[in-house]
Structure 1
Amino acid sequence: MLIERALTESDLSLLALIDRSERVEACYRVENGELILYPAHFDMRGWPEGEAEENARVLEKCWRSGGWLHGLFDGETLVAAVVVDNRVIHNQGLSMRQMKFLHISRAYRGQGWGGRLFARACEYGRKVGVQALYVSATESRNTVEFYQRQGCRLLEQPDPGLFALEPHDIHFYCRLD
């Protein structure tokens, strides 16, 4: 039975168990303010070396500073999670919070869980009074097109600090009004 609930500090180590395996056939990059699709072929297996541990540290800091962490469990196993940071970002004349994390285990994709968790993050953003969510998305076609279907739009000027952390990501925002 699948259960959605707030994540606790003790759940943070479970994030590494989310199966983010994916076969990527195409990616996007931004050129002159436009998304350009290009062929790319790689088979993502699990988490890159050290990334799960780094995510756990970043998300623990987010949790301790009042961020919002929500998960989907199949029994005791965390199979999906979404996280919204507490820090406000001002960009394009909007007050935003960053959606720091949205991952769905491979076996649970294609069932609407990504859209449902994204909608939960948007509900949270509205509740705390921000005008938009900031999304730094990996450049894979599936990920970029998922966020576009959720109503995300390309930022004209990414946040300099977030862009420095993820220069290859596609930096989006999703208005909440």
Structure 2
Amino acid sequence: MKSRYEYELENGGTAFGAYAGDKLIGFGVLAHKFRGKEHDQLQIDLLYVTRNYRRQGIGSRIIEQLSKAAIEKGAKYLYISSTETESAVNFYSSCGSTITSEVDQELFEKEPYDIHLIKRL
């Protein structure tokens, strides 16, 4: 079975990695499928930073790169389906995201406990 990462990259998604030397310590994946009523949203499909490297601005820099890539593809918003942890939601909020009033039904059905946010680009 293909990983989400492989699927997205093979279908036009974009990925960025953060490294400490040759060690991957964080990554982000921008999905390829446009979402929203206006088809102007691209989803952050994956975002992860290794625990020992958190709270150092790495996740924020990955979000910046994903945002630039989304703008280049024509998106006006990032759609984020975040784990419901307070730290994850606070992180996305600190990057300019807000809870969306238009939840993507497909993503909600996959992860019904996630918090759905949107970030204007």
- TM-score over 0.5 (shorter chain): yes
1:94–1:132 contact (8 Å) kept in structure 2: no
Alignment of 1:65-144 (within 5 A): 65-91=11-37, 93=38, 95-144=40-89
Q: Which of these two proteins has the greater Rg computed from alpha carbons?
A: 1
The equivalences for 1:1-177 within 5 A come to: 57-91=3-37, 93=38, 95-176=40-121
Q: Contact 1:94 / 1:131 at 8 angstroms: preserved in 2?
A: no
Q: CA-atom RMSD, angstroms?
A: 1.4
Aligned length, in residue pairs: 121
Distance in 1 separating the partners of 2:70 and 2:36: 14
Counterpart of 2:61 in structure 1: which amino acid? Answer: R
Which residue identity lines up with residue 62 of structure 1 in the other structure? E
Equivalent residues of 1:81, 1:117 under 8 A apart: yes
> Which residue type is aligned with residue 84 of structure 1?
L
Counterpart Cα distance in 2 of 1:82 and 1:140: 18
CA contact (8 A) 1:84 1:100 kept: yes
Which of the pair is proportionally richer in strand?
A: 1
**TM, length-normalised to structure 2:** 0.94
Give 5+ residue unaligned stretches, structure 1.
1-53
- TM-score with structure 1 setting the length: 0.65
> Following superposition, which runs of at least 4 residues in structure 1 exceed 6 angstroms of deviation?
none
Instruction: Tell me which residue corresponds to 1:26.
Output: none
